[in-house]
Amino acid sequence: MKLVTRAIVNFVSIFGAVITLTSLYNLLKPEASTYYIDIFILSLCFFILSPWSVRMASGASWRPAVMLIIVSAILVPPTLSFLVALPGLIRITYQSKDHWRKYLLTFGHIGLGLAAGGSIFYLFNSGGAIEFSTPLKMIPLLLGILVHFVVNRLISFFIVANKTGKDFKKQAISMLREIHWGYLNLYLTSLFTIIAFKEIGYLALLLSLFLLMGIFKSTIYYTKMQQLQNTVYIDALTQVENRASWEAFKHQMDVNPCTGTLSMIDLDNFKELNDTLGHSEGDKILKETASFIHHSLRNCDRIFRYGGDEFIVFMPHDNEAGFEFEGKMERLTSDLNEHFKHLQVSVSASIGCTLYSGNDSFKASLLEADKQMYLAKAQRKLLDKKLKQKVLI
């Protein structure tokens, strides 16, 4: 899947170069002069608003200036609409101080959304006239806006997944969860601007820009509140759930039990690694451990950093599947230890598992998992000692 993701990102970059050159060429044609004023005004507004953005937890950005791109996809033919975004995109990319390839990727990302949305509108509305005398005549407009949203989000999934190295499916799920009322309001504002433009022209655009400012401020507040909430229940170092989240989960399980496998994972020789290589290397191992476990679990599973180098995993399932999930966790730990060997670090993981049936105390199940983990740790130390003795002999 990573090869597919990289190939799609490369295609988007190539498309960015193509749409930039073809749009500039089309601008020189005599028939393009009809749209010079529209392109100039929309482009100027987009250039001014383009730095406004909200960075989401998934790595994607929400930009209110996208409204102007959506409007331009309808008001300006697909052969020219990309020129509205071009100056603002150059400004955004220049300020990010990225590699020159980033320009082409950004151009392709926005250009594909514009081309897809605008082409759908003009395909079902050959004259390009904005006509809303009947509900049926609004279908091309609604389809164009919907297609722009889908294509724009889809490309964002691939770009961020390629940048972060995450699995595409998990990246997509993460970003879909971040689609909030700000997105809906953005597209609704675009729709109303296009409808009002037919009656009051650029006054509709001016009023929409003021509305856009309010949406932007509200989205910033919403995002900051969400980030603040995450700091309460998310471990700052490993980005998995923290001890406070575990305590809340434990209370929830006492009130409303759910059967599953409870596992305690502890890192062996972690203190020695910290003392030898320093805390920065220790932090890297903790982050690597949390990431490896997290990406090996299902969406319904929970992982907590219990404290120090200890992690707790809870995998919900029916009582009958207990042995199957215990085996899964032991294989996960074995794979994690192989991963440590690949990283060439003298750390290993020990695990203790227990089945929580929902009938006993959840605290008692945790103590049992902890006991099993220490037994596994003792067995590993005994095995290592015997291997060393054999080597000496």
Residue 11, burial from CB neighbour count under 10 angstroms (0-12, 13-18, 19+): middle
Of 235, 266, 268, 309, which one is the catalytic site residue?
A: 309
| C-alpha span between 153 and 159 (Å, rounded) | 10
| C-alpha span between 115 and 143 (Å, rounded) | 13
Q: What is the DSSP annotation of 50-67?
A: TT--EE-TTS-EE-TTHH
**Cα dist from 234 to 177, 192, 382, whole Å:** 17, 39, 36
Could you give the dihedral angle defined by the CA atoms of residues 110, 111, 113 and 115, in that order, rounded to the nearest 10 degrees? 160
Phi, psi at 316, each rounded to 5°: -70, 140
Instruction: Clarify whether 309 is annotated catalytic.
Output: yes
3-state secondary structure 150-207: HHHHHHHHHHHHHHHCCCHHHHHHHHHCCCCHHHHHHHHHHHHHHHHHHHHCHHHHHH
Q: Is 11 helix (H, G, I), strand (E, B) or coil?
A: helix
Q: Quick check: 369 and 354 in contact, CB under 8 A?
A: yes
Q: How far apart are the first and last CA of the chain?
A: 49
- Active-site amino acid positions: 309
